[in-house]
């Protein structure tokens, strides 16, 4: 199965009312675990790499790992996506390395810290769409600012993100602004801010309608009934995974993520791409810690990385099933990037 664009996957997901998990990857075991799980349940999948992941693994290695692992699973349609591209140049370099989709995150300026205003965001996203569509790649844009509705803190993780206090109004995606952003940029998918944030510490307790504003998503959906929405910061941070980490020497503060049933509610309101990184990190770390606790004499990486791979595969499998993606791999028609470029160009000419 060729590596496909985000557009093809999300159009299919919208047609059949399900969502596709977008898992962040940095290394071989993560890629293998995700694809093994996708194959086991016959689900399409999105593998995404942040800028940090690209520089950690190296573009050439990461792209080759994804492509070669994908070759082993010819029945799994896979999209290779740049997560949180900070500039047009980052998005273009991802495409040059074989990514079929990019996120231009213009909610922040290129330094990854300073807020980007509407005009800045629209201008860099529109430019990215113009270039990406010419070569058949898809684009995700974002409007609103991820961060906690409890504390008003913009979120910064690993040096990426606005550090400071934002109003509830700033934090939530505004329906009117979302509608004009989609119209002004031509993005294929839109990331929205409704109170989720990256990392393990999203909420101080199980979220409710005040802290996770699903009602806001409903309003946005009212303005954009045909847009594919993306939910960032969508790890559920399961207690069971936290327990494995903490009972094997790890330290975590009280942590609450987005419960899977809330993600299911978002899927019913048009979320088609669900971003998950933290849960994989927890699954991997917990499994490795457990091996070290049980067998402190162990030093063969295959022993603990093998356990980590199993734990991640089991998490992925559960997410494919709960998001309704299982069983949909075979229904997806895969087009070449050239064909996608032709379609995008024809759409622009018609507009
Ligand atoms: O966007 C956030 C993801 O969790 C990626 O994190 O930049 O540490 O790779 P990262
Ligand atoms: P989590 O930290 O909730 O896994 O979110 C990941 C994400 O949104 C990547 O873009
Ligand atoms: Zn994100």
pLDDT at 132: 98
Ligand 2 near 278 CB (within 6 A):
yes
pLDDT at 113: 87
CA distance 189 to 192: 10
Total count of domains within the chain: 1
CA distance 186 to 249: 48
Residues with CB in 5 Å of ion ligand 3: 232, 275
Q: What are the respective helix, strand and coil percentages of the chain, to the nearest 5? A: 50, 15, 35
pLDDT at 199: 96
CA distance 263 to 219: 17
**Mutate which of 158, 192, 198, 255 for ligand 2 pocket (most atoms within 8 A of beta carbon):** 198
**Terminal-to-terminal C-alpha distance of the chain:** 32
Reading the block at residue 207, the tokens are 């979220």
Of all residues in the chain, what percent carry a pLDDT higher than 70? 98
Reply yes or no on whether 17 is catalytic. Answer: no
Give the nearest ligand 2 atom to 232 CA.
8
State the residue range of the domain holding 312.
3-350
What does the pLDDT look like over 16-66, one tens digit per residue?
A: 999 999 999 999 999 999 999 999 999 999 999 999 999 999 999 999 999
Give the nearest ligand 1 atom to 277 CA.
4
Output the residue whose Cα is nearest ligand 1's atom 3: 277
> Which ligand is in closest contact with the Cα of 275?
2
Output the residue whose Cα is nearest ligand 2's atom 3: 233
Per-position DSSP letters for 13-60, written without gaps between them? HHHTT--EEEEE--SHHHHHHHHHHHHHHT--EEEEE-HHHHHHH-HH
CA distance 227 to 218: 12
Output the residue whose Cα is nearest ligand 1's atom 6: 50
pLDDT tens for the chain, 351 residues long, are 579 999 999 999 999 999 999 999 999 999 999 999 999 999 999 999 999 999 999 999 999 999 999 999 999 999 999 999 999 999 999 999 999 999 999 999 999 889 999 999 999 999 999 999 999 999 999 999 998 999 887 766 555 677 778 889 889 999 999 999 999 999 999 999 999 999 999 999 999 999 999 999 999 999 999 999 999 999 999 999 999 999 999 999 999 999 999 999 999 999 999 999 999 999 999 999 999 999 999 999 999 999 999 999 999 999 999 999 999 999 998 999 999 999 999 988 777
Give the nearest ligand 2 atom to 278 CA.
4
pLDDT at 160: 61
Q: Which residues line ligand 1 (CB under 6 A)?
A: 24, 50, 52-53, 83-84, 158, 160, 198, 277
* Helical H segments across 174-331, by residue range: 175-185, 214-223, 239-246, 260-268, 278-294, 301-322
**Mutate which of 46, 51, 159, 198 for ligand 1 pocket (most atoms within 8 A of beta carbon):** 198
Q: What is the CATH number of the domain that holds 214?
A: 3.20.20.70
CA of 287 to the centre of ligand 2 (A): 20
Output the residue whose Cα is nearest ligand 2's atom 5: 233
What does the pLDDT look like over 282-321, one tens digit per residue?
A: 999 999 999 999 999 999 999 999 999 999 999 999 999 9
- Which residue out of 83, 105, 188, 279 is catalytically annotated? 83
pLDDT at 165: 83
pTM: 0.97
How many helices (H) and strands (E) are present in the chain, helices listed first?
14, 9
Give the nearest ligand 1 atom to 56 CA.
9
């Amino acid at each position: 199965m060729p590596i496909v664009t985000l557009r093809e996957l999300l159009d299919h997901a919208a047609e059949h009312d399900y969502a596709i998990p977008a898992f962040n990857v940095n290394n071989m075991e993560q890629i293998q675990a995700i694809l093994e799980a996708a194959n086991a349940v016959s689900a399409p999948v999105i593998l995404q790499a942040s800028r940090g992941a690209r520089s950690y693994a190296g573009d050439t290695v990461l792209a080759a790992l994804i492509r070669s692992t994908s070759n082993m699973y010819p029945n799994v349609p896979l999209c290779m996506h740049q997560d949180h591209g900070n500039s047009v140049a980052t998005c273009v370099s991802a495409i040059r390395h074989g990514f079929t989709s990019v996120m231009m995150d213009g909610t922040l300026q290129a330094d990854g810290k300073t807020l980007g205003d509407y005009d800045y965001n629209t201008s860099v996203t529109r430019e990215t769409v113009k270039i990406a569509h010419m070569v058949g790649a898809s684009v995700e844009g974002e409007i609103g600012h991820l961060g906690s509705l409890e504390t008003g803190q913009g979120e910064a993780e690993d040096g990426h993100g606005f550090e400071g206090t934002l109003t509830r109004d700033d934090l939530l995606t505004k329906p009117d602004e979302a509608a004009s952003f989609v119209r002004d940029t031509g993005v294929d998918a839109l990331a929205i801010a409704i109170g989720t944030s990256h990392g393990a510490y999203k909420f101080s307790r199980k979220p409710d309608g005040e802290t996770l504003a699903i009602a806001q998503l409903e309003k946005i959906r009212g303005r954009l009934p045909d847009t594919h929405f993306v939910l960032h910061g969508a790890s559920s941070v399961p207690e069971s995974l936290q327990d494995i980490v903490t009972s094997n020497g790890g330290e975590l503060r009280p942590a609450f993520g987005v419960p899977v049933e809330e993600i299911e509610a978002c899927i019913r309101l048009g979320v088609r791409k669900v971003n998950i990184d933290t849960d994989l990190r927890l699954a991997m770390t917990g499994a490795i810690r457990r091996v070290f606790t049980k067998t402190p004499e162990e030093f063969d990486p295959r022993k603990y990385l093998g356990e980590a791979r199993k734990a991640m595969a089991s998490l992925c499998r559960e997410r494919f099933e709960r998001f309704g993606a299982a069983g949909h791999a075979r229904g997806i028609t895969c087009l070449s990037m050239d064909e996608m470029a032709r379609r995008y160009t024809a759409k622009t000419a018609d507009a």
